[in-house]
Structure 1
Amino acid sequence: MKKGYMSQIALSKRVGWSEGNGRRWIKIFKEYIPVLIDGRNKLYNEESYKVLSIIKALSENNFNSSQILEIFSENGIPSTDRELEEVIESKSKFNEFDQTIVDSIPSSKDLIIPLLNVMRDKKPYTSSMLNERIAQYFLLSEAQLSIAYPDSKEFIFTHRMRASRYSLKKQDYIEEVSKYTYQITEHGLALLNDNSEEINEEIEELEKVIDPFEVIQEKVEEIEDELITKLVDELKKAHWRRLETIVVELLTAMGYGDGQVTEKTNDGGLDGVIKEDKLGLDNIYVQAKRWENTVGRPEVMSFSGALDAKGARKGIFITTSNFTKGAEEYVERLESKKIILIGGKKLARLMIENNIGISIKKRFVVKEVDFSYFEGE
């Protein structure tokens, strides 16, 4: 291996993707990812890693490969964190286009018979094999395969395939013969031989089958939404000094270095300071305000001025309410410093993620068959 270079597998792993997923993205963006051909080997360097990391960041923000290719073609590859943030913020540009793609993806109902037809040879198929075969059957584009639900990383096509497999398995048309591996049953073969009217009637029945895991997920989301509301209410009722302590405790739990609440007589309008990392290479100043009204640009500008007085380049402004568009646009245009705005709901979510101000009420464990346990003589 040449010094300073890595294999495709190593590159994928470093970015945080599986070998298969990394290989797929590298193939799509091969014209943008630097590569050194060394005999039969393809080697990648730090620039390759940087480009693939940008692609991953965009994909995690619900950009599909077609959209990313369009961005790279029109504007080039983002060269700074700020440029990458601007691209992510422009996601709304694709909303109408996204909905058109969503509407073109086959529904779970439309997938039923094609799924059974793929499996009618009685061979076992993994879920990924079925996804691939069905995608080929419907001639689905990369955009259709990679578009995700809003505020989710789950691909819509993958979700609909899973729902179809579940209903078929629940009604005994297919069976799970090993983990994520399925095979058609005699009952499934018989359905394919029914007339179209009987098939349509059965598909209507299959549509009524509900995956309990989806029900659980919806209820969990409802519970979390209610918890966020309650946390925000408690934060608004907390003493202002207690709020500052909570915020510093949260940021420390998030992996920053030591933090402390500043003395009110000499804080210059700042409520706390934390170290950027465990080594304390830089200070991040914090302002935490218990507000009912939306925080506007003047308040954020005042905070920015307090940072200037400290010679600071980084700050976090936290409120129990939210921020105006003007305040958000102001911090976006800052060049000499970085200010992060955190509203009440986002603050509550961060508290939940880092177990601050919450306790576990009930823990549920869902178990499944360990197919490997039954293998062997």
Structure 2
Amino acid sequence: MKKPFYMTQIALSKKVGWSEANGRWWIKYFSEFIPVKKDGRKKFFSDESFDVLSKIKFLSENGLTKNEILEIFKKSGIPKTEQETTDLITNNISFKYHDKEIANSLPAQKELLIPLLNVLRDKKPYTTTMINDGVIDQLGLSEEQLNITYSDGKEFIFANRMRSARYSLKKEDYIEEVSKYTYQITEEGLELLHDNSKEKEDEIEELEKVVDPFETIQEKVEEIESDLIKDLIDHLKQAHWRRLETIVVELLTSMGYGDGEVTKRTNDGGLDGIIKEDKLGLDNIYVQAKRWENTVGSPEVMGFSGALDAKGAKKGIFITTSNFSKAAEEYVERLVDVKKIVLIDGRKLAKLMIENNIGVSNKKKFVVKEVDFSYFEGE
């Protein structure tokens, strides 16, 4: 058997065709998918690491964003062949361009400002839903346009731009929030509607510069959480295997699934933990937790399924610090009528730990307050 060849991060970056700084950034972002051998504080990478990073570079150079590549890897695993890699580009780019074409047909934030004021020009209070509906009618937007989301799928583009438009108009006193999610035009807003085209253009240009600080905070919080997830995965991979078993049992117990315990190594049948859903242990969930660098395939999950059969169990949770292949996920789906196996990859494990305060602590807490309109009602 050929002895594996290991290289430094600088050598790996150079071999892929990146500068050391650029390579370090990509390696860190996809750390959960890139095999690494650690010797103290030093990291060494193999030909398999080069293969994964080369595919990432190829996908990036052919139109996929880093987030899209990451989502593909989490959902389907790393493509094994050149043809699979090419197919990913073909399938995702055609869908992406379709979405991009629709997204480009949506009015920009600055194009929503005057239509928004037109909805309010009768000086009556309107809820955000009424305002959105009024703008949609004015601009004749289709259902397909309204349903298009950003690439992460978290938010509708139109709704986001309308919220930004409302904020900038409110910030510059063209509209006011008279009650929660309800707005009314001001005298300044009415004057803007009666301005000539040049004056409107100049003011719209100024309104474009207004940034909602709450959105900035949200973006930074997401960035901090993304870094925390990567750090947690790294610590989980470095933890002693016995400590990892304790961590996952503690997590599942804190999530309310029942009393958990780590199995004894002498006769665990390949199972690392048991969660007793009832006091007498009549209904148990068996757990397997493995530190893994490579993608976990269907053979490993089949082995776990067999261990459940040996216990006569119908419920199991397979946890890994890496990720699962598409074949492994499809195998579990086929078992749904016979037994329930839940797969938890490194990223999901880290998120669950954050949500349940396992292995993390509050660094600093920020509270953002808003006006309580009901407090000022009544005589």
Q: Same fold judged by TM-score > 0.5?
A: yes
Instruction: Tell me the residue number matched to 1:58.
Output: none
Partner SS state of residue 322, structure 2: coil
Larger RCO (CA within 8 A; separation ≥ 6): 2
2:119 counterpart of 1:118: yes
Contact 1:255–1:277 (CA under 8 A) maintained in structure 2: no
Instruction: Tell me the residue number matched to 2:358.
Output: 356
Q: Which runs of 5+ in 2 are unaligned?
A: 1-91
Aligned residues: 288
1:315 partner amino acid: G
Percentage identity across paired residues of the two chains? 75
Instruction: Tell me the residue number matched to 1:300.
Output: 301
Instruction: Tell me the residue number matched to 2:167.
Output: 166
Q: CA deviation at 1:281?
A: 5.6
CA distance in 2, matches of 1:134, 1:279: 60
Partner SS state of residue 294, structure 2: coil
2:321 counterpart of 1:320: yes
Contact 1:256–1:277 (CA under 8 A) maintained in structure 2: no
Contact 1:172–1:185 (CA under 8 A) maintained in structure 2: yes
CA distance in 2, matches of 1:325, 1:372: 51
2:318 partner amino acid: F
Q: CA deviation at 1:184?
A: 1.3
Q: CA deviation at 1:153?
A: 4.7
Residues 365 and 152 (structure 1), Cα distance of their counterparts in 2 relative to 1, 3 Å cut: farther
CA distance in 1, matches of 2:370, 2:279: 40
Instruction: Tell me the residue number matched to 1:207.
Output: 208
2:98 counterpart of 1:133: no
Q: CA deviation at 1:231?
A: 0.8
Deviation digits for residues 86-115 of structure 1 (CA, Å, limit 9, x no counterpart): xxxxx9997665544433333222211100
**In angstroms, what is the RMSD of aligned CA positions?**
2.5
Deviation digits for residues 236-268 of structure 1 (CA, Å, limit 9, x no counterpart): 121111111110111112221111111111110
CA distance in 1, matches of 2:356, 2:318: 19
Instruction: Tell me the residue number matched to 2:35.
Output: none
The 5-angstrom pairing of residues 325-340 of structure 1 reads 325-335=326-336, 336-340=338-342
Instruction: Tell me the residue number matched to 1:45.
Output: none
Contact 1:296–1:326 (CA under 8 A) maintained in structure 2: yes
The 5-angstrom pairing of residues 1-377 of structure 1 reads 98-276=99-277, 282-335=283-336, 336-377=338-379
CA distance in 2, matches of 1:371, 1:108: 27
Residues 149 and 253 (structure 1), Cα distance of their counterparts in 2 relative to 1, 3 Å cut: farther
Contact 1:257–1:279 (CA under 8 A) maintained in structure 2: no
Q: Give the TM-score normalised by structure 1.
A: 0.70
Partner SS state of residue 348, structure 1: helix
1:370 partner amino acid: D
Residues 278 and 372 (structure 1), Cα distance of their counterparts in 2 relative to 1, 3 Å cut: farther
Residues 209 and 252 (structure 1), Cα distance of their counterparts in 2 relative to 1, 3 Å cut: same
CA distance in 1, matches of 2:103, 2:162: 14
Greater CA drift, 240-249 or 323-332: 323-332
Partner SS state of residue 343, structure 2: strand
Residues 333 and 103 (structure 1), Cα distance of their counterparts in 2 relative to 1, 3 Å cut: farther
Q: Give the TM-score normalised by structure 2.
A: 0.70
CA distance in 1, matches of 2:180, 2:282: 47
Partner SS state of residue 359, structure 1: coil
Residues 277 and 223 (structure 1), Cα distance of their counterparts in 2 relative to 1, 3 Å cut: farther
Q: CA deviation at 1:118?
A: 1.0
CA distance in 2, matches of 1:124, 1:302: 63
Greater CA drift, 335-344 or 161-170: 335-344
Instruction: Tell me the residue number matched to 1:52.
Output: none
Partner SS state of residue 112, structure 2: helix
1:119 partner amino acid: L
1:206 partner amino acid: L
